């Protein structure tokens, strides 16, 4: 199967790198050409437009910023759906509301193509190692077509329902994590004044009931942030804020209240306003520890 990727930001590029390492031929397109360079240098081919991309491949992976980007890439002039896509498979991996995926699937099927929504949990490191966690929505036949590709990316891949279900589960998976970064900052503000080495503190937190799976891999980044280092984001604070707004929009549409997300988003907004938006969420934790100690950001 020849694969196309539309959207080669951090995750799209990491996914492309993994698929090429697994022997797939890859064609790539991205609005910002500079983000294509690493994949092109590794041997991927470049498409001039989304329509050109889909004409060259059997399946297209899209991993885009938001619903507006999906609309532009799929439905815009020279978009993915502007040509003959009958029989093609679309694997949509963006973190968006379920309705975005459901409406897109209607348009894809009207063109005689197939689509699954398959967002993943994890950052660029796990993506390059094939260690993501995937939640896939779609009918059984389309999911079966997508599995050989997604199995190369994911250590676990769960079929959770029709198109749109993957998006619902991705928001649910992300919610406790994004709240945790803020909660950890508040927790550490109660004990860091004792002067214990940050590496020891984060190692302790990772080894207790207060430590989620994320801390097993990310405790070092939190310690670095607490020591005053700037930790670059593989998934940054501003991207988390986008996802939290998506959670709140979906909750409002479903008549559900998310008070923790509402309050945590306000805290993330403050952190971003302090100039930390492009950095790792470990900086959110450190920001609130420093604020509690009267050190500002």
The string of pLDDT tens digits covering residues 155-211 is 999 999 999 999 999 999 999 999 999 999 999 999 999 999 999 999 999 999 888
The answer to whether residue 297 scores a pLDDT higher than 60 is no
70-90 mean pLDDT? 95
Sign for the pseudo-dihedral over CA of 111, 118, 2, 140: negative
Q: Find tokens 């949509």 and name the residue.
A: 92
Backbone angles phi, psi at 195, to 5 degrees: 80, 15
Residue 26 binned pLDDT confidence (cut-offs 50, 70, 90):
very high
pLDDT tier at 81, thresholds 50, 70, 90: very high
Q: Output phi, psi for 38, to 5 deg.
A: -60, -40
Q: Which two tokens stand for residue 285?
A: 């934790």
Flag whether pLDDT at 294 surpasses 80.
no
> What pTM value is reported for the model?
0.92
Instruction: Please count the other Cβ atoms lying within 10 Å of the Cβ belonging to residue 22.
Output: 13
pLDDT in tens, 241-292: 999 999 999 999 999 999 999 999 999 999 999 999 999 999 999 999 998 7
Task: Return the number of other C-beta atoms located less than 10 Å from residue 256's C-beta.
Answer: 10
Instruction: Spell out where the chain has E strands.
Output: 3-6, 26-29, 45-46, 59-62, 89-92, 114-117, 120-121, 132-137, 154-161
Looking at domain 169-292, its CATH architecture is Orthogonal Bundle (1.10)
- pLDDT above 90: percentage of residues in the chain: 88
Q: Which of 264, 226, 228, 227 is nearest to 247 (CA)?
A: 264
CA within 13 Å, CB half, 8: 28
Distance CA 241, CA 253 (A): 19
Instruction: State how far the Cα of 204 lies from the Cα of 11, in Å rounded to an integer.
Output: 30
Residue in this structure with the two tokens 């094939």, named with its chain if needed = 130
Give the pLDDT score at 179: 96
**pLDDT digits 0-9 by tens, 212-232:** 888 988 899 999 999 999 999
Instruction: Answer whether residue 234 shows pLDDT above 60.
Output: yes
Domain parsing of the chain, residue ranges? 3-163, 169-292
For 25, residues 6+ apart whose C-beta sits below 8 A from its C-beta are 2, 3, 45
Average pLDDT value for the chain? 94
Fold adopted by 3-163: Rossmann fold (3.40.50)
């Amino acid at each position: 199967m020849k694969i196309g990727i539309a959207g080669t930001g951090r995750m799209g590029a990491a996914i492309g790198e993994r698929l090429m390492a697994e022997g797939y031929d890859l064609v790539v397109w991205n609005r910002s050409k500079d983000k294509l360079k690493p994949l092109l240098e590794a041997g991927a081919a470049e498409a001039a437009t989304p329509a050109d991309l889909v004409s060259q491949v059997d399946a297209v992976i899209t991993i885009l910023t938001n619903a507006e980007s999906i609309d532009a890439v799929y439905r815009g002039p020279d978009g993915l759906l502007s040509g003959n896509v009958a029989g093609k498979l679309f694997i949509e991996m963006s973190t968006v509301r379920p309705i975005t995926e459901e409406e897109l699937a209607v348009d894809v099927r009207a063109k005689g193509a197939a689509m699954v929504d398959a967002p993943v949990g994890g950052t660029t490191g796990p993506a390059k190692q094939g260690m993501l966690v995937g939640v896939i929505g779609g009918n059984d036949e389309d999911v079966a077509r997508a599995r050989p590709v997604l199995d190369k990316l994911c250590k676990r891949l769960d079929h959770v329902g029709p198109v749109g279900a993957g998006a619902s589960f991705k928001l649910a998976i992300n919610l406790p994590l994004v709240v945790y970064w803020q909660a950890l900052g508040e927790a550490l503000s109660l004990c860091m004044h004792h002067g214990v080495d940050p590496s020891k503190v984060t190692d302790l937190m990772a080894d207790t009931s207060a430590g989620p799976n994320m801390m097993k891999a990310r405790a070092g980044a939190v310690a670095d942030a607490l020591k005053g280092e700037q930790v670059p984001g593989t998934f940054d604070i501003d991207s988390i804020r986008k996802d939290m707004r998506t959670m709140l929009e979906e909750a409002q549409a479903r008549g559900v209240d998310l008070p923790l997300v509402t309050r945590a988003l306000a805290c993330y907004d403050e952190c971003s306003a302090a100039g930390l938006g492009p950095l790792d969420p470990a900086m959110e934790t450190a920001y609130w520890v420093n604020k509690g100690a009267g050190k500002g950001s």
